[in-house]
């Protein structure tokens, strides 16, 4: 039989694993962005234009999800 302490330990472990995973993703993104080749490629992107293009698709997705 699982006790309350065991459940709290499981929740604590899950939380630590989640934050550890997020930290690794952030570290990986930072490592990728430090590459000069990637910086040049990302420098040519216009994020404002990309968001305007994606907005109608996102709205459509949210409407479908709400159904």
Q: What is the pLDDT of residues 40-52, one digit of tens each?
A: 777 776 667 777 7
CA neighbours closer than 13 Å in the CB half-sphere of residue 39? 6
**pLDDT attached to residue 19:** 95
The predicted pLDDT at position 1 comes to: 55
pLDDT at 25: 94
**DSSP code at position 35:** S
What CA–CA distance (Å, rounded) separates 51 from 54? 5
From first to last of the 67 residues of the chain, give the pLDDT tens digit: 567 777 888 889 999 999 999 999 999 988 888 888 877 777 776 667 777 787 888 888 888 888 7
Q: Are the beta carbons of 60 and 51 closer than 8 angstroms? A: no
């Amino acid at each position: 039989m699982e006790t309350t302490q065991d459940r709290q330990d499981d929740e604590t472990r899950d939380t630590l694993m989640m934050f550890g995973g997020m930290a690794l993703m952030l570290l990986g993104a930072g490592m990728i962005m430090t590459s000069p080749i990637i910086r040049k490629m990302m420098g040519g992107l216009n994020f404002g234009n990309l968001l305007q293009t994606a907005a109608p698709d996102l709205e459509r997705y949210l409407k479908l999800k709400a159904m």
